[in-house]
């Protein structure tokens, strides 16, 4: 039997609108699973006049009868998690062991990871990556190093935790003093804080891999929620200006502990233009009035750090590459309403490198390519109340059709505003879009 599962991933450099689409699909899912990244993510869900910015908690949390899972591939920050849970509970959202599970094998972001992220970026000066300072890179580095890693299960055993923290923090204090002349961390305070955090979170800690494999065997619907965007993938993105985990659909099996065939229907999320936060190549960037127009109209400021996002035209070379990488079945085209009011809209349809057309997309060449643009006529109408494709202006429909053609995939969803109702389904193959 064909799996009913779905995977929602970002096809650009993040903030494509994954949160809105995960929320739309969560109502018909039994599990919503974060499999990569950590509190570097900022996923927005708008319900009526309320806006929720979720960082670690999956976007199924606003629906009843959904088990939200923070899987093994996540860099889990217990301090952020406890704050986020409390913030949501204060707004009337139910969160408990019956709707949130945290993998016992997820890596824990410790205070030294956040400190190292900051210190390392300061030291890199104009070479810096522009991270979110959430300790993501240092946490995954320690995962690969093994002996200096802490996992969620360690938080639950006071004796092991105390030993680990003393051992690791002593090493980190020496490194920070030598490299950055930093003051030593207060090890006793860390032991106390993390023992408490472990106690608070312990009812939700589970063997989430076994839980999800069981769900898959029993044909219960699982929705995998990507963090970041595929161009930030540690293997396939614009390295070194990437994040430190496998964020494409290729990261789902390893990051959630499920067989590859559990990935299901892959929905690729893209903006009608492109944004990027942090440093690194961005061929279609418009550091000019057009970029400013998009930033202002699209409210393009980071959900996690508040930084202004860099803005530019849609790059179909990027989106074709990331769609092929993840085997995207259909596209969700977001924030189309933001482009209203532009006389002309450009789409990057090819690159040249040293004067020759690039045939095979190579993320390593991104800083050196020239864009070949096609110009389409814009539209002036406000799209935010359109409910059906036919209600969109002809030029907006032509833009969608051209995107579909260049990326060689159907555009199953068009989004014209942050709200739940501002979503146009266009012969989508996604089951259960609500």
Residues catalogued as catalytic? 15, 43
CB 61 within 8 A of CB 30: no
418 binds ligand GDP (CB under 6 A): yes
Choose the one of ligand IMO, Mg ion, ligand GDP, none that binds residue 137, judging by a C-beta under 5 to 8 angstroms depending on kind: ligand IMO
Nearest CA to 402 out of 284, 285, 319 is that of 319
Q: For residue 142, what is the enclosing H or E element?
A: helix 136-145
Question: For the range 65-68, what are the long-range contacts, defined as Cβ-Cβ under 8 Å and sequence gap of 24 or more?
Answer: 65/30, 66/26, 66/27, 66/29, 66/30, 66/31, 66/32, 66/99, 67/30, 67/31, 67/32, 67/98, 67/99, 67/100, 67/101, 67/211, 68/31, 68/32, 68/33, 68/99, 68/100, 68/101
Spatial distance between the Cα atoms of 134 and 136, rounded to a whole number of angstroms: 6
CB 185 within 8 A of CB 173: yes
Residue 341 region by backbone torsions, left for phi larger than 0, else alpha for psi between -120 and 50, else beta: left
Q: Is-cis flag, bond preceding 49, omega within 30?
A: no
330 binds Mg ion (CB under 5 A): no
Footprint of ligand GDP on 335-374 (CB under 6 A): 335, 337-338
Choose the one of Mg ion, ligand IMO, ligand GDP, none that binds residue 134, judging by a C-beta under 5 to 8 angstroms depending on kind: ligand IMO
CB 202 within 8 A of CB 161: no
Residue 322 region by backbone torsions, left for phi larger than 0, else alpha for psi between -120 and 50, else beta: alpha
How near is the Cβ of 16 to ligand IMO at its closest, in Å?
7
Choose the one of Mg ion, ligand GDP, ligand IMO, none that binds residue 129, judging by a C-beta under 5 to 8 angstroms depending on kind: ligand IMO
Nearest CA to 38 out of 310, 326, 193, 243 is that of 243
What is the binding site for ligand IMO (CB under 6 A)? Answer: 10, 14-15, 40-43, 129-132, 134, 136-137, 227-229, 232, 243-244, 277-278, 303
The count of residues interacting with Mg ion (CB under 5 A) is: 3
How near is the Cβ of 232 to ligand IMO at its closest, in Å?
5
Choose the one of ligand IMO, ligand GDP, Mg ion, none that binds residue 40, judging by a C-beta under 5 to 8 angstroms depending on kind: ligand IMO
Footprint of ligand GDP on 25-44 (CB under 6 A): 42-44
**Sole window of 67-75, 187-195, 238-246, 334-342 interacting with ligand GDP (rule: CB under 6 A):** 334-342
Torsion of CA 253, 254, 259, 260, to 10 degrees: 40
Choose the one of ligand IMO, ligand GDP, Mg ion, none that binds residue 243, judging by a C-beta under 5 to 8 angstroms depending on kind: ligand IMO
Residue with smallest beta-carbon separation from ligand IMO: 278
Mark 296-315 with x for binding to ligand GDP (rule: CB under 6 A) and - for no binding.
--x----x------------
Instruction: Reduce the DSSP state of residue 206 to 3 states and report it.
Output: strand
42 versus 291: smaller Cβ distance to ligand GDP? 42
22 versus 205: smaller Cβ distance to ligand GDP? 22
**Sole window of 68-76, 251-259, 373-381, 411-419 interacting with ligand GDP (rule: CB under 6 A):** 411-419
**Sole window of 28-36, 67-75, 158-166, 331-339 interacting with ligand GDP (rule: CB under 6 A):** 331-339
303 binds Mg ion (CB under 5 A): yes
CA 397 → CA 32, 336, 373, 402, distances in Å?
32, 10, 19, 9
Q: Which residues bind ligand GDP (CB under 6 A)?
A: 10, 14-20, 42-44, 46, 298, 303, 334-335, 337-338, 415-418
Residues that bind Mg ion (CB under 5 A): 15, 42, 303
């Amino acid at each position: 039997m064909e799996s009913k599962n779905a995977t929602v991933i970002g096809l650009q450099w993040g903030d494509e609108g994954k949160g809105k689409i995960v929320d739309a699909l969560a109502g018909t899912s039994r599990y919503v699973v974060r499999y990569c990244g950590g509190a570097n993510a900022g996923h927005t869900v708008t319900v009526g006049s309320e806006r929720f910015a979720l960082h670690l908690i999956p976007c199924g949390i606003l629906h009843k009868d959904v088990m939200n899972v923070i899987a093994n591939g996540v860099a889990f920050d217990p301090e952020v998690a406890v704050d986020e849970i409390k913030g949501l509970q204060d707004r009337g959202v139910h969160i408990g062991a019956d709707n949130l599970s945290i993998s016992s094998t997820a890596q824990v972001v410790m205070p030294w990871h956040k400190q190292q992220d900051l210190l390392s970026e300061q030291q890199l000066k104009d070479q810096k990556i522009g991270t979110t300072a959430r300790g993501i890179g240092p946490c995954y580095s320690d995962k690969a190093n093994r002996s200096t890693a802490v996992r969620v299960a360690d938080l639950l055993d006071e004796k092991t935790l105390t030993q680990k923290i003393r051992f690791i923090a002593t090493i980190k204090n020496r490194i920070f003093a030598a490299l950055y002349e930093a003051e030593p961390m207060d090890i006793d305070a860390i032991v106390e804080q993390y023992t408490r955090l472990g106690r608070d979170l312990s009812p939700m800690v589970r063997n989430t891999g076994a839980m999800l494999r069981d769900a898959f065997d029993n044909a219960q619907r699982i929705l995998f929620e990507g963090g970041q965007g595929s161009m930030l993938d540690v293997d396939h993105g614009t390295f070194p200006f990437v994040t430190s985990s496998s964020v494409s659909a290729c990261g789902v099996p390893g990051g959630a502990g499920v067989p590859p065939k559990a990935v299901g229907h892959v929905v690729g999320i893209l903006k009608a233009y492109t944004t990027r936060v942090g440093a690194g190549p961005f061929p279609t960037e418009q550091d000019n009035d057009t970029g400013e127009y998009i930033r202002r109209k699209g409210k393009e400021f980071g959900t996690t750090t508040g930084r202004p996002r860099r803005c530019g035209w849609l790059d179909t070379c990027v989106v074709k590459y990331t769609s092929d990488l993840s085997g995207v079945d259909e596209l969700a085209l977001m924030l189309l309403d933001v482009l209203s009011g532009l006389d002309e809209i450009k789409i990057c349809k090819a690159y040249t490198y040293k004067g020759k057309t690039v045939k095979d997309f190579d993320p390593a060449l991104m800083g050196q390519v020239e864009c070949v643009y096609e110009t389409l006529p814009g539209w002036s109408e406000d799209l935010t109340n359109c409910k059906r494709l036919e209600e969109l202006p002809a030029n907006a429909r032509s833009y969608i059709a051209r995107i579909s053609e260049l990326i060689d995939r159907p555009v199953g969803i068009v989004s014209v505003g942050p709200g739940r109702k501002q979503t146009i389904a266009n012969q989508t193959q996604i089951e259960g879009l609500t």
